[in-house]
Chain A
Amino acid sequence: MTEFSFFPIVFYLLAAVTVGSAAGVAFSNNIVYSAFSLMGTLLGAAGLFVLLAADFVAVIQVLIYVGGILVLMLFAVMLTHRVADVRISNRAIGRLPTLLVIAVVGALMGRALATSNWHQVDPAVPTPTTYGIGDGLLTSYVLPFELASVVLLAALIGAVVLSRKELKDESA
């Protein structure tokens, strides 16, 4: 194993940050606190990506999730709530049945996780991944890569169309 000695400590720290913040997202009564907890989860996941030797994906995670999606969500929160009454802005219903569902699903998946005999190889020495990812994107994954650009263009236009005010409403 090519592990440095503080690998487990860093892992458990990042795992605690990730799972704890995810719990904050799920259980907080205030949507603003949820949004900031989501930042902890995303950053913790980015740290886990670094531990998994995926440096490029980790950087992209920070850039797009924390820098883009999270800011977008905070904008949406601020635009759709009067800041005065954000105290219980993140109402939750049906907690008990949901906890039951989650317990069952979690038990099933945990059992599958514990009993499965995964095919494992010894992890390679971490190397820069950008060359391999770029190579993959322009050879075996060139069609999904091009489709991604079409999807993003459609999302861009769709978001603009959806969020701008209709002209009919203004003239009426």
Chain B
Amino acid sequence: MTVGLTHFLTVSLLVFLMGVYCVLTRRNAIGILMGVELILNSANINYLAFSRYSAGGYDGQVFALFVIMLAAAEAAIGLAIVLGIYQTFHTIDVEATETLRG
């Protein structure tokens, strides 16, 4: 059985599920950000797999580049927020940061 589109999509699905698990269970803010990176990476694998096996052309690769760019921006802002939380609460456990809870 030759390696084709479905194989890459399966890998991407597994990485996506790990990312969702990470986002849902982690209570460390940086751990949650890592889960988001996993999800974005699985989306990128999908983009490139469809670009190679289904669509052809370079559109998928351009979109993957935009995703990487947005991930960089997201990581910079997210980690800055995490550092701000740490300065205020002296922990980055997201359960401790419930000042806004009604």
Contact = CB atoms under 8 A, between A and B. Distances in A.
Interface of A: 1, 3, 7-8, 11-12, 15, 18-19, 22-23, 25-26, 31, 34-35, 38, 41-42, 45, 48-49, 52-54, 56-57, 60-61, 64-65, 68-69, 72-73, 75-77, 79-80, 89-95, 98-99, 101-102, 105-106, 109-110, 113-114, 118-121, 123-124, 129, 132-133, 135-137, 141, 144, 148, 151-152, 154-156, 158-160, 162-163, 165
A95 B17 CA distance: 13
A22 B15 contact: yes
B61 to A, nearest CB: 5
A38 B86 CA distance: 22
Interface residues of B, number: 73
Given A98-B24, A118-B54, A135-B58, 15 more contacts: A22-B18, A25-B18, A26-B18, A34-B31, A48-B45, A57-B61, A57-B68, A60-B65, A69-B75, A73-B75, A91-B26, A99-B21, A118-B53, A133-B65, A136-B62
B58 A19 contact: no
| Interface of B: prevailing SS | helix
Given A93-B25, A162-B84, A22 B38 contact: yes
Contact of B2 (A8, A31, A69, A75): A8
Interface of B: 2-11, 13-22, 24-28, 30-31, 33-35, 37-38, 41, 44-45, 48-59, 61-62, 64-66, 68-77, 79-84, 86-87, 92-93, 95
Contacts of B35: 25-26
Contact of B76 (A1, A23, A35, A156): A156
A98 B54 contact: no
Return the 4 tightest CB-CB contacts between A and B, nearest first.
A155-B73, A132-B58, A162-B80, A22-B18
Nearest to A135: B58
Contacts of B58: 129, 132-133, 135-136
